[in-house]
């Protein structure tokens, strides 16, 4: 019912049920209202001009005074053969906790830390929806959360005493549950929206996909000012995602839709470690897939592209070694080149 309720508040014309209205006419009214909402331009949460980052919200809610949101939905989004469970979790914030693409929310799980008896500490999660939320009302946010478990070789089973406190809390949450939120935080992963022709190279492992989903929805799914400018320009958003197998792919149906509609502006490469081989015959990890395009990526970066990394920090050494090799072949010093990219704000890293 959230989208329907939000449609009322957004001014969409819905048919209110009356004593004489048939169920069919009410349903048609609801459908028409939602269509009106989805067809509207998404511009009510934009800066002026839209690329101005000076008004970005930061730390609206802090650890000592968090915001209490409500779980709207929790759903598993990986197949049966995936390694582990990943959930898409939508949280309602009533429009009181606005954020921008590339930012994170903090979540404070209930209970206390058994090690010190103090309340559980905040955990950060990259936001996986645009600032408008998946229902495009500006009142929800989406998190992409992998359930953290620990396999005990002695028990030959998951050890519940060592499971991730916050990830399990979120993956077990039900619609209507309260959730304490802090933030939004972070400016490292923002999109440089002033240039509608900028190339964006997005590298992710697993749930590191979250910020890029927020980017891609803003660029290609919703009718935003930047999206309209970008799809008319020459910029290319290039997504690399590394997971174990096809069942572990995240939001693949969304990427395929964008590929169909915007083949010139969007590009997609997967690294499936248990299904693909790298050039040496070993497992295909994200750094191996990125390495296949090393010269092209280097060229794009030298032409002003922005490169983003989100996910496991283990991917970084392989990627930097690869780019270092390209530098060497070109007679350049890698440290100098990296420093140049960082100084220009082209290098964005948020790994854990």
CATH classification of the domain holding 232: 3.40.50.80
Q: Do 223 and 177 reside in the same domain of the chain? A: no
Give the distance from CA 103 to its chain's centroid: 9
Q: Which residues are annotated as a binding site?
A: 126, 146, 207, 273-274, 283, 311-312, 350
Residues 210, 120, single domain; the answer is: no
**350 included as an active-site residue:** yes
Q: Domain range spanning residue 317? A: 200-351
CATH number at residue 157: 2.40.30.10
Copy the structure tokens of residue 269: 């490469």
What integer is the mean pLDDT of 7-21?
Answer: 36
Question: Quick one: 257 and 308 in the same domain?
Answer: yes
Please tell me which residue, 183 or 39, carries the higher pLDDT value.
183
Last residue of a domain, one of 159, 185, 211: 185
Closest CA to 165 of 209, 208, 105, 121: 121
Structure tokens belonging to residue 317: 């050494």
Domain membership of residue 333 (yes or no) is yes
In a domain, 294, yes or no: yes
Structure tokens at 115: 């090690």
Question: Residues annotated as binding site for NADP(+)?
Answer: 126, 146, 207, 273-274, 283, 311-312, 350
Q: What is the pLDDT of residues 220-274, one digit of tens each?
A: 999 999 999 999 999 999 999 999 999 999 999 999 999 999 999 999 999 999 9
- Asked if 179 and 208 sit in the same domain, the reply is no
- Asked if 299 and 272 sit in the same domain, the reply is yes
Q: Is residue 17 part of a domain?
A: no
pTM of the model: 0.85
Regarding whether 208 and 149 lie in a shared domain, the answer is no
Is 310 in the active site? yes
Q: Select which of 126, 129, 167, 173 is catalytic.
A: 126
Domain final position from 185, 216, 234: 185
If asked whether residues 206 and 288 sit together in one domain, one would say: yes
33 domain-assigned:
no
Alpha-carbon gap, residue 294 to 296, rounded angstroms:
6
What pLDDT was estimated at residue 29? 47
- 145 and 286: one domain? no
Q: Which stretch of 17-21, 182-186, 301-305, 322-326 has the lowest confidence by average pLDDT?
A: 17-21
One domain, residues 106 and 215 = no
Q: Is the pLDDT of residue 160 over 80?
A: no
Average pLDDT over residues 157-180: 85
Residue 253 forms part of a structural domain:
yes
Calculate the dihedral angle through the C-alpha atoms of 218, 221, 222, 228, rounding to the nearest 10 degrees: 80
Kindly state the tokens that stand for 305.
């592209």
Instruction: Dihedral sign for Cα 186, 225, 252, 320, please.
Output: negative
- Under 8 Å between Cβ of 267 and 238: yes
Tokens of 23: 């169920």
Is 125 part of the annotated catalytic residue set?
yes
Residue identified by tokens 């999660």 is 125
Same domain, residue pair 230 and 332: yes
Q: How far apart are CA 159 and CA 12, in angstroms?
A: 49
The residue assigned the tokens 């002003």 is 304
Render pLDDT for 66-98 as a digit per residue (tens, 0 to 9): 999 999 999 999 999 998 999 999 999 999 999
* Number of domain units in the chain: 2
Question: What is the predicted pLDDT for the residue at 309?
Answer: 96
* pLDDT range class, residue 42, cuts 50, 70, 90: confident
Last residue of a domain, one of 162, 185, 208: 185
Average pLDDT (323-348) is 94
User: Catalytic pick from 94, 121, 321, 352?
Assistant: 352
Within a domain: 61: no
Show the tokens assigned to 74: 């929790």
Report the percent of the chain where pLDDT is more than 90: 77
Task: Provide the 10 A C-beta neighbour count for residue 70.
Answer: 17
To the query of whether residue 126 is one of the catalytic residues in this protein, the response is: yes
Q: Residue 161 burial (CB < 10 Å; 0-12/13-18/19+)? A: exposed
Based on the domain organization, do 205 and 271 belong to the same domain? Answer: yes
Beta bridge pairs of residue 67: 181
Active-site residue among 125, 212, 230, 285? 125
For the chain, helix (H) and strand (E) counts, in that order, are 10, 13
Check whether residue 141 and residue 239 sit in a common domain: no
292 is a domain residue: yes
Is the CB of residue 304 less than 8 Å from the CB of residue 274? no
In a domain, 56, yes or no: no
């Amino acid at each position: 019912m959230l989208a329907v309720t939000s449609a009322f508040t957004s001014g969409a014309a819905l048919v209110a049920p009356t004593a004489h209205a048939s169920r069919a006419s009410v349903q048609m009214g609801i459908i028409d209202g939602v269509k009106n909402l989805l067809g509207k331009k998404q511009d009510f949460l934009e800066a002026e001009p839209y690329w101005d980052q000076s008004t970005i919200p930061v730390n609206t809610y802090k650890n000592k005074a968090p915001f209490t949101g409500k779980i709207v939905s929790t759903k598993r989004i990986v197949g049966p053969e995936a390694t582990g469970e990943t959930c898409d979790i939508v949280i309602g914030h009533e429009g009181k906790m606005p954020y921008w693409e590339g930012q994170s929310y903090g979540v404070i799980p209930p209970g206390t830390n058994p090690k010190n008896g103090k309340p559980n500490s905040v955990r950060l999660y990259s936001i996986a929806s645009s600032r408008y939320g998946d229902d495009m009302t500006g009142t929800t946010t989406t998190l992409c959360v992998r359930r953290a478990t620990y396999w005990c070789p002695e028990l030959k089973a998951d050890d519940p005493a060592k499971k991730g406190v916050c990830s399990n809390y979120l993956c077990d949450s039900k619609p209507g549950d309260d959730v304490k939120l802090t933030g939004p935080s972070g400016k490292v992963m923002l999109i440089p929206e002033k240039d509608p022709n900028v190339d964006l190279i997005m590298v992710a492992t697993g749930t590191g996909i979250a910020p890029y989903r927020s980017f891609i929805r803003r660029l290609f799914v919703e009718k935003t000012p930047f999206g309209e400018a970008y799809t008319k320009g020459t910029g290319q958003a290039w997504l690399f995602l590394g997971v174990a197998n096809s069942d572990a792919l995240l939001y693949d149906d969304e990427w395929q839709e964008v590929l169909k509609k915007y083949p010139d502006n969007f590009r997609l490469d997967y690294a499936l470690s248990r299904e693909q081989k790298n050039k040496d015959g070993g497992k295909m990890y994200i750094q191996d897939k990125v390495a296949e395009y090393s010269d092209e990526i280097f060229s794009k970066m030298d032409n002003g592209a922005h490169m983003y990394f989100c996910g496991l920090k283990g991917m970084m050494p392989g990627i930097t070694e690869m780019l270092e090799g390209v530098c060497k072949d070109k007679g350049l010093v890698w440290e100098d080149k990296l420093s140049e990219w960082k100084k220009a704000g082209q290098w964005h890293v948020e790994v854990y």
